[in-house]
Structure 1
Amino acid sequence: MPRFSVVVPAHRAQGFLRPCLESVLDQSGGDVEVIAVDDASPDACGAIIADLAAADQRVVPVRLDRTGGTGKARDAGAARATGDYLLFLDADDLMAPGTLAALAARLTRTGDPDVLLYDHERFTVWENVQESGDGDFLAAAGTRVFTAADLPDCLACYPAAWNRAVRRDLWTSHAFTFGDAPYADITVATRVLTAAPRIACLDRVCVRWRRRRSGSLTTTRGAHHLAVIDRYAELFADPDLPGDAGRAALYGQMAAMLMAVGEDRLTPEATPDFVRRAGRLLTEHRPAGWAAPEPNEARWVRAAGTGSYGRYRAALGARAAAMHLAKKARARRNGLARALFQRYYRMRLRRPVDPDLVLYAAYWNRGVSCNPAAIYRKAAEIAPHLRGVWVVNKRDRDALPPGVDHVIVNSRRYWDVLARAGYLVNNANFTGNVVKRPEQTYVQTHHGTPLKHMGMDLRARPAVGKGMSFGRLLDHADQWDYSLVSNQHSAEVFDRVYPSGYRTLPTGYPRNDVFYTSGPDDVRRARQALGIAPGTTAILYAPTHRDYQREFVLPLDLERLARELGPGYTLLVRAHYFYGQSPQLEALHAAGAVVDVSGHPCVEELCLASDALVTDFSSLMFDYANLDRPIVIHAADWAAYRAARGVYFDLLSGRPGETPGAVAADEVSLAELFRGGAWDDGPANALRAAFRERFCGYDDGLAAERVVRRVFLHEEPLVPYRPLPDRRPAPSPASLTTPAPAVPTL
């Protein structure tokens, strides 16, 4: 029987669940079982639990047939527990390192009490940390063992399920349950203390409580928050509440909780009823001589205690007026440079939204490409009633395909279409201060699978994050309705680093459809257009951007590599689009050492034409894996890149699912891999297969159709996936024997 049973309910938490569970499993010391309850979650919570359960026998998976809410999921987990002590942890929170060892030591020292209270801290997406407010009481209690009647101030500790360890015998003997009532934590946390014959404390932060921006009870505004009043009414009617001191402690906890709810969690129509009911509760149970611990709370309790919504508004009106004036002053300081276009934009925002108008953009308005382009083409095929318009920079408009309707960034028509389009589709962000209207649907397609750190994780990476506005990043994420992913890894990372209320769509990446819809003739035409001689092994070399380098520096000596490879090989070199033209690369191209394809409009065509990919940290490796062709990693500066940018897994570990193929340290070893055959041998192929299974899960040639049918045509469910063994990627060049048809381009 384990010492601890940690119950983790999970619903719509795929971006946070894995780190949460790992924070328990990675504890140093502590005999533990982790009961992970999938509350019929519509995302990948169940798959994450199954994955960790398969790897670690301490994980006990529980699956509920229908969503019952956090309370029901906790109850189901507690019923499966076998440990001496029950602990609860929410799926978006973290257990601090060393917690289980510290709990075990304190339990032993205090003679295994019935309840052990411990501290927590709150942290936001900005990593701002706020103390719990319980630290002084926990420190003062020391190693004393007591009852709630002995130290009634214990009832003022934050009323949560996850800041106390409860002896399972006490839990079962009193038949404690959370049920499905909102704010059940309050009653259960309090009654556990009033029922416990022996309570102890630990003055240590054991739980990091994540203050989510959306998707939780506390961030969803509505009338359901009025349930907090019912919970406190139940507690004040409880005969087990210990005397006047206990009621005073509970009153202080209640006042703080009601203020938190009243200020941030209610819709306008729910506020009057809340004030009336909260006022009665605050007045009826107010202890003689009670005083709020700080001025804001005192002001709010006085206002709400009137029980009159009118007097409540009047009492808080002066503060609200001051905040409004401060907001107006900040707006004036933002400047008037964009006033003209913004005024026009606001005018267009009054016009009706056109439900058949789709505005597309890719790579900060560089033209028709990537996932938005694949969606655009599929929409023209199966949703022809839609009219697609592309946003393009003025300098890039001449490269647009003929006949593409487009608007120039910051033109009058740009602001007009941005205001009226029923759908916004982008793989980055739209230019300007965009107002996302309720009638508009915003599809964020992204443009790669994250190996490197992204989003809010970059706050700790000054090489790239120093000049970023993370507030603006979050504002953008708040506008998304859908976030497309091609694998579960991306779903988890994006949900965590772009925290907001959008829906993740596991459609696959539309741009990768071409890898499954192309046939032999398409591969031949792609090679012919690039001038690749028959029988030649074409190697696509695609190094990525380094945030710590101002200019493009070739990581490889390509002239030497071409010489080492010898005849029969063609190097196709594609520099990252962040960099302009490279004189060094142009000189190598002119000398015939390489073929510079940096300006080629379609990277997917380059992939089709090549026999293998050589890259360092480019996300192109994840897309290329769909072709099931060899991938070779050259990452001589891996340590510097990992330290500067941060990564989500060790690309060079050699473990299946992390390393996609053979690894080379320099030009000589890279050439030897190709000449000796190790680039495409059994071990390399096995690594590639595992990598493809992990990162190409949703890519099967039907991604664009899934997006169009789900988002534009509102069809449910998603088009079914083709099983990985049944997918047929475009044939490799080596498998083709007949010449290409006389067609100029793909």
Structure 2
Amino acid sequence: MPKLSLVVPAYKVQAYLAECLDSILEQDFSDFEVIAVDDCSPDASGAILDEYAERDPRVHVIHLTENVGLGRARNVGMEKATGEYLLFLDSDDTLTEGALRAIAGRLEAAGDPEILVYDYARSYWDGRVRPNMRAALLRPDGPESFPLSERPQLLDLLQIVWNKAYRRDFVLRMGLSFPPGYYEDAPWTFCSMISAEHIALLDRVCVMYRQRREGGNILKTVSRKHFDVFDQYGRVFAFLDAHPELDQWRGPLFRKMVDHYLTVLTKPGRLPQNARAEFFRRASADYRARLPKGFARPGGNLGHKYAMLERGSYLTMAGALGAVKLRQAVRRRARTTLNQSKRNAMGVFYQSQLKLPLDENLALFSAYWSRSVSCNPAAIDAELARLAPNVRRVWAVQADAVDRVPAGHEFVRVGSREYWSVLARAKYLVNNVNFADSVVKREGQIHLQTHHGTPLKTMGLDQRKYPASTNMSFDKLLERCDRWDYSLSSNRFSTTVWERVYPCSYVSLETGYPRNDILVNATAEDVRRARASLELADGTRAFLYMPTHREYQAGFTPSLDLVRLADELGPDVTLMVRGHYFYGNSSHVEELRRSGRIVDVSGHPRVEELYLAADALITDYSSAMFDYAVLDRPVIVYASDWDIYSAVRGTYFDLMKEPPGAVATSQAELIRLLESGEYDGPEAARYRDRFRRRYCEFDDGRAAERVVRRVFLGEEDLLPLVPFADRHHAPTPPQALESLERA
């Protein structure tokens, strides 16, 4: 029997679940089990739990066939628990380092109490950590354990279960279980605390209580479910009725009940407006029915609210609350005036356009800060033309890039009157980065964020840990992300990263990347055409070299001697280089360029065509590896500075341990891999297969259609994914050549 059983219910927490589980499994105390309950979560939470269970026998997973809510999911977990003590941890929170050892040690020192209460702190998206305001109540200035009557002020702690360890035989003896509905912690917390004869304290922060920016707390949502609070306190007082020996707690729990009712009634964002009077009447009835003899109301403004509840004076209460709302409205108007002044700086014309109706059949596209017609937005544009030709498609393009707009694409110059007009009136705004801070998100507009890669390097809020990589304002970043309605993903890994580092209220669409559809659907003729456009001769091996950008370098420092590489590989190999390279003006370099053995493709408008033309990809840490892997062609990682890059920029996994193929850490090793053919051998293929299954998870050739049907046509159900084993991909250059020769 383990010492501790940790019950972890999971529902729609895929962005945070791994961090929660890691915080448990990496503890320096190992005598525990984890009972993880997948509460029929619609996201990947259940799959994440299964992955952890496969790796660690201490993790036991229960999959529920219907969503039952937090309380009943905890009950299911308790039924399977075998530990001496029960601990509960919400799946978006984390344990602090050494927490379980400290908890186990305190339990032993206190003689195995029925309940151990430990401290927690609130952690915020911006890195702030706020201690528990009532932490002083946990100071161990007394006996090792005691009944609540000796420390009644402990009832003033937040009504939560996850800052306590409960002896399991005590829970079974008292018949404790979690009820359904909102505020399920209240009956459990109060009934257990007043029943325990031995309570111990641990004055140590053991849990980091995540304050989710995007509103992960369901108690802060407007709903009639807040009426559940009446049933919860009905259970508390029924427990008191069944245990007359605990009658001394009737007064303190009455006070907790009334305070809780008033919190629900007065806090904004909980009760629907048309339900407030009904809630007040229910609260007033409970007040009068449960008022203990001799109860003394608190003083001050709170006491006045108690009196209004006792008298049932809803109009008086509503008037008082209305006065508070009026003061808040005045402050909001002041802020609105200030914001309006700021928006006026955008131009009177934009303001005038914002007042006009939205054009339901107008879509504005942008890619890479409006510098090209490319990437996921371009693929969505093409599919939209096929499925919804009634939608006018316009591209935002910088003035210095208009000569690169492909024929047949309508565009507006960024900053022009036409640009501001389309931006203000388009129903759909599609971008693979963010629109400028000055853009106003109108009611009814739909912002589609497509992203432009799978993240190896840290992104969004995670970049705060690596200040050398950015100087951005994270507040401004999240304000821009608040405009998103949809966020695209090509794999579950990306989804969890995006939801954590951009914690805003968008819908994640696991569609695959539209730009990669061509890598699945291209024909032999498409491959041949791509190579012909680059003047690659039949039979020539073409290696596409795509290094990533390093923010911490003042300028570009090439890590490969391309001339030497071309010489070593011989005349039958062509290096296509996409990056900011300066080759020099030596006669040898010019000769290699004229012969086509080194081709600068940095300005090529469509990287997908380069992928089709290349026999293999050489990269370092670029997200190109994730897209190119869709083709199931060799990927060679040239990682000469991995230690520096991963330390300064930060990465989400160790590329040296999970590569998409062969890895070289020096130019000599790279040349050996290429000359020997090892880069395309069985071991490299095994790495590539594992990599593809994880990171090309949704790229089955129908991503653009999924996006258009969901976002533009309003179809709720996404097209099903083609099973991985049934997918195909574009033919390799040799296969394309063979196919054409047969034809």
Once the two structures are superposed, the pairs formed by residues 591-670 of structure 1 within 5 Å of their partners are 591-593=591-593, 594-653=598-657, 658-670=658-670
CA gap 1:122/1:511 in 2 versus in 1, 3 angstroms: same
Indicate the SS of the match to 2:355: helix
Residue 723 of structure 1: aligned partner? 723
Partners of 2:119 and 2:132 lie apart in 1 by 7
Letter in 2 for 1:118: Y
- Counterparts in 2 of 1:734-745, with a 5 A limit? 734-738=734-738
Instruction: Please give the secondary structure, in 2, of the residue aligned with 1:508.
Output: coil
- 3-state DSSP of counterpart to 2:61: strand
Query: Which amino acid is 1:231 matched to?
Result: Q
Change (3 A) 1:222 1:414: farther
Q: 1:456·1:497 contact (CA, 8 Å) conserved in 2?
A: yes
Distance in 2 between residues matched to 1:519 and 1:637, nearest whole Å? 37
Cα contact 2:346–2:438 (8 A) shared by 1? no
Q: How far apart are 1:416 and its partner, in Å?
A: 2.6
CA contact (8 A) 2:353 2:425 kept: no
1:42 is displaced (CA, Å) by 0.9
Instruction: Note if 1:132 corresponds to 2:132.
Output: yes
> 2:351 maps to what in 1?
343
Q: Is 1:327 matched with 2:331?
A: no
- Cα 1:326–1:244 change in 2 (3 A) is farther
Q: Conserved in 2, the CA contact under 8 Å of 1:259 and 1:301?
A: no
Q: Which amino acid aligns with 1:111?
A: G
Q: Which residue pairs with 2:159 in the alignment? A: 159
Q: Deviations over 1:81-129 (max 9, x none)?
A: 1111111111111111111111111111111111111111111111211
Specify the code of the residue in structure 2 equivalent to 1:331.
N
What are the equivalent positions in structure 2 for 1:252-331 lying under 5 Å apart?
255=259, 258-259=262-263, 262-266=266-270, 267-271=272-276, 288=296, 290=298, 308-313=316-321, 315-316=323-324, 319-320=327-328, 323-324=331-332, 327=335, 330-331=338-339
**AA in 2 matched with 1:313:** L
Contact residue 461 and residue 474 of structure 2 kept, 8 A: yes
- 1: distance between equivalents of 2:585 and 2:703? 36
Name the stretch that deviates more: 193-202 or 282-291.
Answer: 282-291
Q: Report 1:410-559 matches (<5 A).
A: 410-466=415-471, 468-559=472-563
Moved more, 495-504 or 600-609: 495-504
Letter in 2 for 1:383: A
Please name the residue that 1:7 is paired with.
Answer: 7
Equivalent AA in structure 1 for residue 689 of structure 2: A
Residue 586 to residue 512, structure 1, CA distance change in 2 (3 Å): farther
What SS class does the counterpart of residue 627 from structure 2 fall into? Answer: helix
Distance 1:136 1:387, change over 3 A: same
The offset of 1:695, in angstroms, is: 0.7
Contact 1:11 1:39 survives alignment (8 Å): yes
The aligned counterpart of 1:69 is 69
For 1:592 and 1:281, locate their aligned partners in 2 and report how far apart those are by CA, in whole Å: 88
Structure 1 CA distance, aligned partners of 2:436 and 2:740? 42
Q: Which residue of 2 aligns with 1:744?
A: none
Query: How much has 1:582 moved relative to structure 2?
Result: 4.6
Q: State how far apart, in whole Å, the 2-side matches of 1:250 and 1:154 are.
A: 15
Q: Any conservation in 2 of the 1:304–1:312 contact (CA below 8 Å)?
A: no
Q: Distance in 1 between matches of 2:464 and 2:524?
A: 46
The yes-or-no answer on 1:394 pairing with 2:399 is yes
Does the 8 Å contact 1:303/1:311 carry over to 2? no
Q: Distance in 1 between the 2:508 and 2:376 partners?
A: 15
Q: CA deviation at 1:265?
A: 3.0
Between the aligned partners of 2:624 and 2:533, the Cα distance in structure 1 is 21
Match of 1:50, SS state, is helix
Q: 1:160 to 1:682 in 2, by over 3 A?
A: same
Q: 1:551 to 1:261 in 2, by over 3 A?
A: farther
Name the CA distance, whole Å, in 2 between partners of 1:600 and 1:585. Answer: 21
User: 2: CA distance between counterparts of 1:415 and 1:696?
Assistant: 37
Instruction: State how far apart, in whole Å, the 2-side matches of 1:397 and 1:131 are.
Output: 54
Question: How far off is 1:273 after superposition?
Answer: 5.1
Distance between the aligned counterparts of 1:274 and 1:730, measured in 2?
Answer: 62
The verdict on how the C-alpha distance between 1:660 and 1:582 changes in structure 2, with shifts beyond 3 A counting, is closer
Task: For residue 574 of structure 1, report the CA deviation from its aligned partner.
Answer: 0.5
Q: In 1, are the aligned partners of 2:226 and 2:264 still within 8 Å (CA)?
A: no
Partner amino acid for 2:26?
A: D
CA apart distance, 1:469: 2.2
Post-superposition offset of 1:504: 1.4
Which whole-Å CA distance do the structure 2 matches of 1:247 and 1:507 have between them?
A: 56
> Is the aligned partner of 1:222 residue 2:223?
yes
Instruction: Note closer, same or farther for the CA distance 1:521–1:310 as it changes in structure 2 (3 Å cut).
Output: same
Tell me how far apart the structure 1 counterparts of residues 49 and 621 of structure 2 sit (CA, whole Å): 29
Q: Is the 8 A contact 1:142 1:201 kept in 2?
A: no
State the distance in 2 between where 1:387 and 1:662 align.
46
Question: 2:91 and 2:446 mapped to 1: Cα distance?
Answer: 29
Structure 1 residue ranges without an equivalent (≥5): 576-580, 742-746
Query: Structure 2, unaligned stretches of length 5 or more?
Result: none
Deviations 1:665-692 (A, max 9, x none): 2222211211111211121111111111
Greater shift, 337-346 or 172-181, is seen at 337-346
- Distance apart, 1:715 and its partner CA: 2.8
Secondary structure (helix, strand or coil) at the match of 2:592 reads coil
SS at match of 2:548: coil
TM-score calculated relative to the size of structure 2: 0.91
Q: Is the 8 A contact 1:248 1:287 kept in 2?
A: no
Q: Distance in 1 between matches of 2:353 and 2:142?
A: 62
1:172 equivalent in structure 2:
172
Distance 1:177 1:521, change over 3 A: same
- Contact residue 34 and residue 60 of structure 1 kept, 8 A: yes
2:297/2:306 contact within 8 Å kept: no
Moved more, 686-695 or 231-240: 231-240
Q: 1:259 touches 1:300 (CA, 8 Å); kept in 2?
A: no
Q: How many residues align?
A: 725
Distance 1:236-1:72 versus aligned 2 partners, 3 A rule: closer
Instruction: Give the match's secondary structure for 2:362.
Output: strand
Change in CA separation of 1:299 and 1:133 when aligned onto 2, cut-off 3 Å: farther
- Structure 2 residue matching 1:356: 3-state secondary structure: strand
Is the CA contact (8 Å cut-off) linking 1:152 and 1:245 kept in structure 2? Answer: no
Distance in 2 (CA, whole Å) between partners of 1:280 and 1:355 is: 50
**Cα offset, 1:71, TM superposition:** 1.3
Distance (whole Å) between structure 2 residues aligned to residue 517 and residue 613 of structure 1? 19
Query: Which residue pairs with 1:707 in the alignment?
Result: 707
